[in-house]
Amino acid sequence: MSILTTGVAHIIDAVKDLLDLIDSQHPLNISTDRDEKDNSFIKITFQLKNGKSELRIYNNGGSFYYFNLDGKNLERIDFNDGNLTDTGGAFHKALKALIMFDRQYSPQQVKNVDSLIDRASFGLSEVN
């Protein structure tokens, strides 16, 4: 991989700083992996308030994946920074978008919607 170690260290620091802002007490897990096209990437996984995230870093960019607590992928946010250490770049914008998605996502709302769908499928209605 041609990602500079300082760039990865900067990304880890940025993720840690944002996790501190949302009071996350969960650790970062860092590993390497290969995707379906056999491209290698660095994978950083971490817990957010309402879900989990996986960051995949390739040579010139990457993606954030947002999963609910059941492991269902709900969102993918790509970034294409050539310079991953740029604090005003696409990586930081994608990370902020991920945090905003987590804040707006409510597992309770999704559960309520699912239960309404289940009731409707059996011909039941809900009365307020």
Q: 1-17 burial by CB neighbour count: b if 16+ within 10 A, else e?
A: eebeeebbebbbebbee
Residue type, 24: S
Q: What is the per-residue pLDDT across 46-90, written as a single tens digit (0 to 9) for each? A: 888 889 999 898 887 889 999 998 999 999 999 887 555 566 778
pLDDT tops 90 at residue 118: no
pLDDT at res. 29: 85
**Confidence band (pLDDT; 50, 70, 90) for 121?**
very low
pLDDT tops 50 at residue 119: no
**Taking the domains of the chain in order of start, what are their residue ranges?**
5-121
3-state secondary structure of 29: strand
**Confidence band (pLDDT; 50, 70, 90) for 9?**
confident
